[in-house]
Amino acid sequence: MTRSLKKGPYVDAKLLKKVGARSPSAGGIKTWARASQISPEFVGYTFLVHTGKNFDEVFVTEDMVGHRLGEFAPTTKFIKHGGRMQKEAEMAAKAAEIASAQAAKGAAEAAKPGAGAQK
The rounded mean pLDDT for the chain is: 89
DSSP designation for 63: G
SS3 state at 103: helix
Give the pLDDT confidence of 88-109 residue by residue, as tens digits: 889 999 999 999 989 888 888 8
**At 7, is the pLDDT very low, low, confident or very high (cuts 50, 70, 90)?**
very high
Cβ pair 46, 59 in contact under 8 A: yes
Domain boundaries, the chain: 13-72, 78-108
What is the CATH code of the structural domain delimited by 13-72?
A: 3.30.860.10
**C-alpha to C-alpha distance for 38 and 108, rounded to whole angstroms:** 58
64, exposed or middle or buried, with CB in 10 Å at 0-12, 13-18, 19+? middle
Give the pLDDT confidence of 45-71 residue by residue, as tens digits: 999 999 999 999 999 999 999 999 999
Which pLDDT score, from 0 to 100, does residue 69 have?
95
